[in-house]
Amino acid sequence: MPAMKYVSFAFFILVVSCKIQQPQSTPKPDPEVHEQTIQFDITSPDIPVVEIADSVEIRIHRLLPDYVRIMGVGDLMIGTNFPNPKYLPPDSGNSILSFVADSLKLADVTFGNLEGVILNEGGTPKNCKNPEKCYVFRMPEYMVQNFKNAGFNLLSVANNHSGDFGEEGRVSTSNLLTQAEIHFAGFDTKPYTIFKKGHLRYGFAAFAPNKGTASINDIETARNIVAHLDSLVDIIIISFHGGAEGKSFEHVTRETEFFYGENRGNVYEFSHALVDAGADIIFGHGPHVVRAIEIYKNRFIAYSLGNFSTYARFNLRGPNAFAPIIDLQVSSSGEFLSGKIISAIQTGLGIPKIDSQNRAALRIKELSEIDFPEAEIIVESSGVISYIQQ
C-alpha cells in the first residue's frame, strides 16, 4: 500500500470584531475580543499533495456580550448583637434576604451599602450614654454568608457606621469580606478597589462625610481617584453616603446639605464632577429614603437608594420602608443602555420582599420628574427606565 497522502490546508481566518460602543477618552486594550486557537486534523486521500502536515490552525475571535447587568441597593444592616442579641434575626439570618435573592443573583455585579461592622464580639463601641439608645451596629461574622448567599459581591464601607467599633471593627470587616471574595472600599485607607468579573475590569470607590472614610467633601481627591481608575478599568462604580436624612429630605437640592451639624456634601455637584472625571454608575444612599434618579452624559446616577434591609433598629415607617433594587444594563464601557427599578419593601423588622404595589419605583418616578424636569428620562409606573440618548 502506498503511504496515505495527507493534505494540509493552512487556514488563517481573521475575524475583525465590530466594536459598537465608542471608546472612552483614555485608550484601553479592547476587552471584548478573546482569542482562541484550535488545532484539528483534515485528511483527504484524493487531493494531490501540496505539503506534508497534519494540522490546520484556525483562529477564532469570539465576540463577548457587549453589556453587563449591574444592580444596586441601599443600606444593609441585617441584625446587630450589640447592645443586645435580641436585635438579631431568627435562624442566623438565613431568611432575611431570601425573598429578594433570586432577583439580586441575576446581576454580574450586585452592590449594597454595608451600614455597620462585621465582628462577633469586642471592639471599641462609639461612646454612648445609654446603650439602648445607642445606634452602633455589630453584625456577627456568620452574616457574611447571608450577603454572599443573596448575591452581593460589592459593598461600600464608606458610611457613618463602618467605624462603630473602632479599628477592630474595620479590620474584622475587611478580613471577612476579603475571605468571602466580596469586593469593598470606602475606608480612608482603602478608598477604591479594582476587580475583574467576566471579561471586564471594574473600579469601585466609595465616599462619605464621616471620619475614617474617603471624603465626599474632598471632590478634588475623589476626581483624581476616578481619573486613576479610568486609566485602568472598563467600568467605574461609585458609592456615596450623603445628604440629609428622613422624609423631609427626599429632594436633591443641588446645594450642600447639613444635618446634625455635619456637612453631608453636595451630592449633585459630587456626582456630576465624578461622571465628568470618568465615573459610569453612581449609587447614592444615606438619607434612609429614596431620591431621584438621573442620567447625565449617558451615565446613571441614583441620588438615594434608601434603606434595603435594616433590621430591628431602624424607623421603617412610610417611605423609610421603600427598598428599591436598581437593575441596570450598561455597555462594556459603562454607558447606560436600559434599566428597571424593582420595587421591594421592608416587612416586619426589616425583611425586604418584592412589592406588588411598586411603591419604591413610583416614588422615585415622582421625585425624578420634580427634581430633574429637564432630563430626557422616563420612569414608567412599572419601574422601567427609558432614556433618549442625546
Q: Indicate the residue among 160 and 333 with the shorter CB distance to Zn ion.
A: 160
To Zn ion, the closest distance from the beta carbon of 310 in angstroms equals 9
Q: Cβ 194 to Zn ion, closest distance in Å?
A: 25
Given a contact cutoff of 8 angstroms between Cβ atoms, the answer to whether 235 and 333 are in contact is yes
Tell me the closest approach of the beta carbon of residue 303 to Zn ion, in angstroms: 15
Nearer to Zn ion, 160 or 271 (CB): 160
**Nearest CA among 217, 361, 219, 388 for reference residue 292:** 361
Q: How far apart are CA 361 and CA 387, in angstroms?
A: 16
DSSP 260: T
Of 299, 276, 263, residue with least CA distance to 224: 276
Question: Cβ of residue 77: shortest distance to Zn ion, in angstroms?
Answer: 9
The residue range among 83-91, 156-164, 177-185, 369-377 that interacts with Zn ion, by the rule CB under 5 A, is 156-164
**Sequence-distant (≥ 6) Cβ neighbours of residue 18 within 8 angstroms:** none
Choice between 286 and 352, CB closer to Zn ion:
286
Residue list 181-210, contact with Zn ion (CB under 5 A): none
Give min distance, CB of 196 to Zn ion, in A. Answer: 30
- What beta strand segments (E) does 198-292 contain? 200-207, 235-241, 258-259, 262-263, 281-285
What is the closest distance, in whole angstroms, from the C-beta atom of residue 260 to Zn ion in the complex? 11
Closest CA to 206 of 265, 250, 147, 247: 265
- Which 209-248 positions form the footprint of Zn ion (CB under 5 A)? none
Half-sphere exposure for 318 (CA within 13 Å, toward CB): 7
Size of the site for Zn ion (CB under 5 A): 2
Q: In angstroms, rounded to a whole number, what is the distance separating the alpha carbons of residues 312 and 317?
A: 12
Nearer to Zn ion, 308 or 372 (CB): 308
- How far apart are alpha carbons 116 and 75 in whole angstroms? 9
In the complex with Zn ion, the residue whose CB is nearer, 102 or 262, is 262
Longest dimension (CA), the chain: 99
Among 351, 236, 241, smallest CA distance to 286 is for 241
Judged by CB under 5 A, which stretch of 154-162, 193-201, 271-279, 343-351 contacts Zn ion?
Answer: 154-162
- C-alpha span between 281 and 187 (Å, rounded): 20
By C-beta, is 103 or 307 nearer to Zn ion?
A: 307
Q: Where are the alpha helices (DSSP H) in 278-381?
A: 359-371
Binding mask 114-153 vs Zn ion (x if CB under 5 A, - otherwise)? ----------------------------------------
CB nearer Zn ion, residue 156 or residue 160: 160
Interacting residue with Zn ion among 103, 160, 172, 239 (CB under 5 A): 160
- In sequence order, what are the residues at sequence separation of 6 or more whose Cβ sits closer than 8 angstroms to the Cβ of residue 278? 24, 25, 26, 226, 227, 229, 230, 236
Minimum distance from CB of 282 to Zn ion (Å)? 17
- Asked if residues 350 and 308 have their Cβ atoms less than 8 Å apart, the reply is no
- As given in the structure block, the three cell numbers for residue 270 are 459630587
Stretch that binds Zn ion, among 43-51, 96-104, 158-166, 352-360 (CB under 5 A): 158-166
Q: Which residue is nearest to Zn ion (CB)?
A: 160
Provide, rounded to whole angstroms, the least separation between the CB of residue 354 and Zn ion: 24
Angle among Cα 138, 139, 145 to the nearest 5 degrees reads 160
Q: Check binding of 172 to Zn ion (CB under 5 A).
A: no
> What is the closest distance, in whole angstroms, from the C-beta atom of residue 115 to Zn ion in the complex?
5
Q: For residues 288 and 359, which CB has a smaller minimum distance to Zn ion in the complex?
A: 288
Tell me whether residue 231 or residue 315 sits nearer to Zn ion (CB atom): 315
Distance CA 190, CA 157 (A): 10
| Stretch of 11-19, 20-28, 157-165, 341-349 lying at the interface with Zn ion (CB under 5 A) | 157-165
Residues that bind Zn ion (CB under 5 A): 159-160
